[in-house]
Structure 1
Amino acid sequence: MSKFQCSCGHVVMDNTDYLSYKARYIADQDFYDFLDELEESSKDKFASISFKYARDIYQCTHCNNIFIFKGDFIYEFKPVKENSHSLLMSKKMRNGQVF
């Protein structure tokens, strides 16, 4: 995924790492299978295992809509609250800043 257009017209880009408006999720039904498979494998297989279980989520930085990708389908959701601009930002501190 390199870019797609939100229903508001804004283009959401995915052209670098550490995006504050992108996240991945693993379904609860898959979580322990993911952990079991991860524990049984070597570190160099982490990416292939995570791609097997994880799905991408994006948030439009203009209107805050959420996009969930599942296979060839894109699901778009509009947040109930208007101040939801940082839903996918990291909880960890990076370079002295809270994301």
Structure 2
Amino acid sequence: MKIACHCGAVIVDQTDFLSYKAYVVADRDWEDFVDASESKGRIDSSLVRLSYQCPQCGRLYVEDASRELHAFIPDEHKVQVLGSSEGVDWRAPLIGSWNDRPYAGQAKGHLWCDADGGTSTEFDDWEQLELAYQALFKRLRESDRLRSALLRKNGQDVHSWACKA
């Protein structure tokens, strides 16, 4: 999904772990939400509304009960309210991928992680991607900043790790 913000920026929702996206449950629905989660072992998404915050201007977009987005402007410019409650200590996933035959115009390799200021790097050499992945994996794991890690080459898992916390 893409949202055209009133300021001209585009808010993109095409992946997980977005720093500018949140799920909202109304106070009147909270007990039903908790009950459904505990008894059924799953989230009742009918009680959840999406919200987004424009990284450029700080404008907040929140769904109403009809799933229509409404915009709200913060009093303080650029205050981010939808980030993790863990703040800078949020543990991020590390994802590396390689494809010998990428789509036209695309790099063969990509490394992404949103910890410590984030990284999104493209590679045209598998060995460089693998070295960068392993170095970042080691550093983030030692500093307890890693949620999970996955390195794939041509659709096959080369390395995977999940935090046992």
Scaled to the shorter chain, the TM-score interval is 0.7 to 0.9
Q: Which runs of 5+ in 1 are unaligned?
A: none
Letter aligned with residue 79 of structure 1: P
- Kept in 1: contact 2:62–2:69 (CA 8 A): yes
Number of the residue aligned with 1:56: 50
Structure of greater Rg? 2
Give the deviation of 1:72 after TM superposition. Answer: 4.1
Partner Cα distance (1:65, 1:15) in 2: 19
Give SS of 1:35's match. Answer: helix
Root mean square deviation of aligned Cα: 1.8
Partner Cα distance (2:78, 2:70) in 1: 21
Letter aligned with residue 75 of structure 2: V
Give the deviation of 1:24 after TM superposition. Answer: 0.5
Deviations along 1:44-85, one digit per CA (max 9) or x if unpaired, are xx24x1x1111000000110000001224211000001241x
User: TM-score scaled to structure 1, two decimals?
Assistant: 0.82
User: TM-score scaled to structure 2, two decimals?
Assistant: 0.51
Partner Cα distance (1:39, 1:5) in 2: 37
Structure scoring higher RCO (CA < 8 A, sep ≥ 6) equals 1
Q: Which runs of 5+ in 2 are unaligned?
A: 93-114, 117-165
Partner Cα distance (2:12, 2:85) in 1: 22
Q: Percent identity?
A: 33
Partner Cα distance (2:10, 2:68) in 1: 17
Q: Point out the more displaced range, 18-27 or 75-84.
A: 75-84
Number of the residue aligned with 1:77: 72
Number of aligned positions between the proteins: 91
Structure 1 stretches (4+) deviating beyond 6 angstroms?
Answer: none
| Equivalent position to 1:87, from 73, 81, 103 | 81
Partner Cα distance (1:52, 1:69) in 2: 12
Partner Cα distance (1:10, 1:18) in 2: 20
